[in-house]
Amino acid sequence: MALPWLTLGTVLNCHAVAEALAALLTPYQLQIHWVAATDSIPGSYWGDCEAGLIANNLYLRTDTPLHSALHEASHYICMTPQRRTQLHTDAAGDYAEEDAVCYLQLCLADQLPGVSKQRLQSDMDAWGYSFRLGSAQAWFEQDAEEAKAWLIQHQIITVNGIPTNRLRAP
């Protein structure tokens, strides 16, 4: 079902699905904090409207893209407990974890009403994510087996790609 705020050619902002996003992230103990439109986002690695992450606090503005919020949330979910307690701005994961983060953010998008992994893939491409196969969809369908296996190994998703609502354990 397409929702009225989903229009082709625009990147979906997380504010459009704020309540559903908060409900999705609650099992992970992530707290969403809304920042005024004119303020810098605390904990934002890239600055501008990109989501920020400090400990279990996810900072967003009304113009923060949904893919950015889900990416930072996925970093939090995928990192070790020790790194989570020291987290401030830079998630500092390795390549395998970064791939898992990209995969997980797509799985999480499928859990949001009116959003899908296909919509998020389109937004990721529009925003400039870089995948060696040329698009987020091609990467997910043809080159993400190791990322999926990593998430399954850490019990973050099921073999069917459904998030388990668990944080990575040690």
- Alpha carbon distance 23, 38 (integer Å): 26
**pLDDT band at 92, cuts 50/70/90?**
confident
- Alpha carbon distance 82, 143 (integer Å): 30
Per residue in 123-166, pLDDT tens? 999 888 878 888 999 999 999 999 999 999 999 999 999 999 99
Query: For 3-20, what is the mean pLDDT?
Result: 73
CB atoms within 10 A of CB 28: 19
* Helix, strand, or coil (residue 163): strand
Percent of the chain with pLDDT over 70: 95
- Alpha carbon distance 132, 116 (integer Å): 22
Q: What is the DSSP string of 23-63?
A: HHHGGGT-EEEE--TTSPPTTBSS-TT--EEETTEEEE-TT
Instruction: Please give the pLDDT value at position 155.
Output: 98
pLDDT at 4 over 60: no
Query: For 97-101, what is the mean pLDDT?
Result: 96
**pLDDT band at 23, cuts 50/70/90?**
very high
Instruction: State how far the alpha carbon of 7 is from the alpha carbons of 14, 51, 63, 138, in Å.
Output: 14, 22, 15, 22
Query: For 37-50, what is the mean pLDDT?
Result: 92
> For residue 161, which of 116, 153, 112, 152 has the smallest C-alpha distance?
152
Query: For 38-52, what is the mean pLDDT?
Result: 93
Query: H or E segment at 154?
Result: none
Instruction: Please give the pLDDT value at position 118.
Output: 95
Query: For 71-90, what is the mean pLDDT?
Result: 95
- Alpha carbon distance 60, 16 (integer Å): 12
